[in-house]
Amino acid sequence: MNAPFRTIALAGRFQTEGVAASIAAIGDFLRQRGIAVLLEKNTADAIGRPGDAADTEHIGHEADLAIAIGGDGTMLGLARELAPYEVPLVGINHGRLGFITDIGIESWQEALGSILDGHYLAEERTLLTARVVRDQEIVWNALALNDVVVNRSSRMGMIELQVDVDDLFMYSQRADGLIVATPTGSTAYALSSFGPIVHPQVQGLVMVPVAPQALSNRPIVLPDDVSITIRVIDGREPRVAGDMQVFSDLQLGDDIIVQRAPFRSRFLHPPGYSHYATLRAKLNWHELPILQQRDRS
> Residues with catalytic annotation?
72
**133 is a domain residue:** yes
Domain count, the chain: 2
DSSP state letters, the chain: -PPPP-EEEEEE-TTSTTHHHHHHHHHHHHHHTT-EEEEEHHHHHHTT-GGGEE-HHHHHHH-SEEEEEESHHHHHHHHHHHGGGT--EEEEE-SS--SS--EEGGGHHHHHHHHHTT--EEEEEEEEEEEEEETTEEEEEEEESSEEEEEE-SSSS-EEEEEEETTEEEEEEEESEEEEE-TGGGGTHHHHTTPPP--TTS-EEEEEEES-SSTT---EEEETT--EEEEEEE-SSEEEEETTTEEEE--TT-EEEEEEEEEEEEEEE-TT--HHHHHHHHTT--PPPHHHHHHH-
Look up the domain containing 104 and give its range.
7-120+270-290
- 106 and 141 in a single domain? The answer is no
Same domain, 275 and 153: no
- Return d(Cα 44, Cα 12) in angstroms, integer: 9
Is 101 part of any domain? yes
For residues 106 and 181, membership in a common domain is answered with no
- CATH assignment of the domain containing 63: 3.40.50.10330
Going residue by residue through the chain (297 aa), what tens digit of pLDDT does each one get?
455 899 999 999 767 677 888 999 999 999 999 999 999 998 888 777 877 889 999 999 999 999 999 999 999 999 999 999 999 999 999 867 678 999 999 999 999 999 999 999 999 999 999 999 999 999 999 999 999 999 998 777 899 999 999 999 999 999 999 999 999 999 999 999 999 999 999 999 999 999 999 988 899 999 999 999 999 999 989 999 999 999 999 999 999 999 999 999 999 999 999 999 889 888 888 766 766 555 555
95 and 176 both lie in a single domain:
no
Q: Are 125 and 145 in contact (CB under 8 A)?
A: yes
Q: Tell me, yes or no, whether 214 lies in a domain.
A: yes
Residue 296 lies in a domain: no
CATH number of 171's domain: 2.60.200.30
Phi, psi of 199 (to 5 degrees): -60, 140
Q: How high is the pLDDT of residue 290?
A: 66
- Judge if 86 and 29 occupy the same domain: yes
Domain identity same for 154 and 235: yes
Assess whether 50 and 166 both reside in one domain.
Answer: no
Give CA–CA dist 119/210, Å, rounded: 41
The answer to whether residues 105 and 131 belong to one domain is no
